[in-house]
Structure 1
């Protein structure tokens, strides 16, 4: 008998997300973190619409939404702070949420923590470090103890997840290597809280100052919290550069030091790394333990939350006995190419922002100034446990459901597979059995103004109806993490598509 179904090493936002999702699915979870309490200072500051959809599955989207602010403005600025290019983030997302949000991390991490500690079956053990981890054929054996104490205990879990950050003990203990994609730049990150009653209206939601003498970034995180980041020149001493006496002369261009407090000033070297595999035996990696990317697209924490959502439903299938342990190889195949796409795109943006050659910077600025159209949002598809329909691997549209109090679809159906169609589908016994193995919900979604049958859902507009019709499909199977598993037209194509997906699981077995 194991002590837990899943042991999580690391209790930052990714470990918290995993604990909540797995606990809500009914599994016994224990999470370890060597720190005795939550880290009190901000690090991440950006969420996107996909993260908000994951927060729905965690049951805390509304609470988090109250603590964050939309980040609709993205300005590329010249050295004199005049606007070079305005890249609005107000595009309509498929998930029903705003494209981007900013936040002050201690505020939302507290919401995560309260959700985790109140979820039945979830135990949080802070101030406990993992000293050894071994994956056997049947379980994972961990040796844990308080930092600095010789005493240890043994914990056994069916699976374990290393969500223990960039310097992951779990990754090193498993001997998993990393691929370095070659980006490296050191910046000083400064978090400021202005005094009560103060605000800084001249600071945009997001502003990238494309100054070849010193690239800079600034953002309003909501409330009285702001962030500034400055790139360091090669050879600069990062410790000296992060000292308050070195930081305030630059910050004073925007904020009077007598009206604000410097909460944190720290030098970070931004890098681009990805683990060679995200799985070894019964142990998986998630978040910064699996990948690091430059922060210029704000996708670090979001990518870790995507890891958590994907891993939660895959582990659920395996723990329920619907898929073999080997199916978890699909986790690496699903997440690694996807996160690599974000790393490479973040590197491209970073190279644009970090240009220090005045001639190259001037050429860049001419191109940006001439740009009249906002680039489309970057949304790569996932490539594992998906079919061959054009919608497969893309983000599924999430409509609001008019006859369920206007709630978003996932809040109506829950964190599970969902077979969605605009009309009832007459499925055979094989399809029904396959859907039961997936734990899938089925729902007919009618456009507003139609005459629904009992039990049908009615969308508040025609987003779902038009999206599906434009693809030539009349049904879609959506994964719990919000990506399309497969789609098609007619009951026969549904049977074939499900057989193909289960064939992938059979091959793993």
Structure 2
């Protein structure tokens, strides 16, 4: 069989969903050459994920697409949990003002529109090659690189592309994960739900702008206000349900009858999903890595599934850039799974915990739940997990968390000023007092210096100075010249012995 040889790319991405498209935009921004292999020609036209947070808007900002995505969002005022009697048992309010990321803490979005923005963003890069309508056939690794063989739909001759690294962003059924023979760890929560997406014909009284979890043991139900005239209901599939009858138009309108009549809206789709929590291990086999749903999947009760994938992309992109350009050793890529797997595991476990509140179907257990929640605080807040051990200083309690995005004295947001670089922010006297060797280390690593900026953020961290990474996560903090010089060795281009010790 003859094979057509394609051009070399620094990185091969399999999958052009939100994670793959975001990763391709990040790598394109860094100037790396990319080939994306995607099985379908067009974006999937129906809504799937519906929520992202302020950190994800920062990722979109970093690739210059936040403003393009904004018209396809709705600021989410939060979530309310009500019991069988429609009494509030728990609330999760989200402020209507921008938060520490300089974006709102919670957004509803329309996934097909977001994917269109991300795909169009790739048109900016002549060095990013999209191969849609192509099926991955094989992946072969060597000491020098990785080779992917694929075939275009309707063709009989396979093609080959060579690269430094290949990233599987190809969804929950990931062919890349299958080719690597990577197992999934089952974290539990296997429940089937019916997801109903609607386009409203008119405004209906009583439907809030936020999200409501109806924690009704007779049938747990979720309502959410989405973008524009879109609304979504999710209904837990109960024991004994006839799926065919449940998903028929008559069955769907029967479920919707407490809120709507057929004249109120058009059913865009009604489909059942299995909500579960799984995580792959390992995420990396030499030059091939997994990201997004290929690496992990979670129940939707926190709205963090897509967020986790885009966090993967933001964590991995700058590390690939540094390794491919020779600024750091390939060992830096080991920190990707170390950091992200721990973070996403904590998120999945919390989503399962919240799902347990919603999915209680035993009436007595539901009464116990309501009584327990009624005894304590009735508000919940966002989980902010720390990165797992990796490229940050474990001794610093704030290291491994994302830094805020303050507006600098110049009026420019922090991320706009720093770009894709490391940065050191702190007291001018502290920054000026470091040794020539440390200043040289900062220069080697392209560290942007921001003296006398973000004082409120530093005060909240009880820090005189902070070093942040290109993905805005905190590398380390310091309160003395000696400490700042020491933590600077944690930079990827720092002291090799120190790097080896901490990893």
In structure 1, the residue corresponding to 2:156 is in which secondary structure?
A: coil
The alpha carbon displacement at 1:204 in A equals 4.1
CA contact (8 A) 1:2 1:157 kept: no
Report matched runs for 1:61-460 at 5 Å: 61-90=66-95, 93-147=99-153, 149-195=155-201, 198=203, 201-372=206-377, 374-383=379-388, 384-387=390-393, 388-404=395-411, 407-424=412-429, 425-426=431-432, 427-446=434-453
Bigger mean CA deviation after superposition, 332-341 or 433-442: 433-442
| Corresponding position of 1:452 | none
Bigger mean CA deviation after superposition, 381-390 or 357-366: 381-390
> Alignment partner for residue 483 of structure 1, among 467, 473, 476?
473
Q: State the alpha-carbon separation in 2 of the partners of residues 62 and 482 from structure 1.
A: 20
| Corresponding position of 1:474 | 464
Q: State the alpha-carbon separation in 1 of the partners of residues 499 and 179 from structure 2.
A: 29
The alpha carbon displacement at 1:202 in A equals 1.8
The alpha carbon displacement at 1:506 in A equals 4.5
Bigger mean CA deviation after superposition, 415-424 or 353-362: 415-424
Q: State the alpha-carbon separation in 1 of the partners of residues 240 and 174 from structure 2.
A: 28
The alpha carbon displacement at 1:150 in A equals 2.7
Bigger mean CA deviation after superposition, 199-208 or 42-51: 199-208
| Corresponding position of 1:449 | none
| Corresponding position of 2:3 | none
The alpha carbon displacement at 1:244 in A equals 2.3
Q: State the alpha-carbon separation in 2 of the partners of residues 375 and 31 from structure 1.
A: 40
> Alignment partner for residue 498 of structure 1, among 456, 464, 488?
488
CA contact (8 A) 1:190 1:228 kept: yes
The alpha carbon displacement at 1:87 in A equals 2.3
| Corresponding position of 1:451 | none
CA contact (8 A) 1:324 1:508 kept: no
1:41-84 deviation per Cα after TM superposition (whole angstroms, max 9, x unaligned): 11000001111111111111122223211111311122344433
The alpha carbon displacement at 1:126 in A equals 1.1
1:185-210 deviation per Cα after TM superposition (whole angstroms, max 9, x unaligned): 00011110112x54565234111000
CA contact (8 A) 1:117 1:123 kept: no
Q: State the alpha-carbon separation in 2 of the partners of residues 51 and 494 from structure 1.
A: 30
Q: State the alpha-carbon separation in 2 of the partners of residues 77 and 442 from structure 1.
A: 49
Structure 1 unaligned segments of length 5 or more: list them.
Answer: 447-463
Cα gap change, 1:442 to 1:155, in 2 (>3 Å): same
Q: State the alpha-carbon separation in 2 of the partners of residues 240 and 231 from structure 1.
A: 14
Structure 2 unaligned segments of length 5 or more: list them.
Answer: 1-5
CA contact (8 A) 1:8 1:31 kept: yes
How many matched pairs?
A: 489
Q: State the alpha-carbon separation in 2 of the partners of residues 284 and 238 from structure 1.
A: 37
CA RMSD of aligned residues (A): 2.1
- The TM-score normalised by the length of structure 1 is 0.91
In structure 2, the residue corresponding to 1:369 is in which secondary structure?
A: helix
- The TM-score normalised by the length of structure 2 is 0.92
In structure 1, the residue corresponding to 2:93 is in which secondary structure?
A: coil
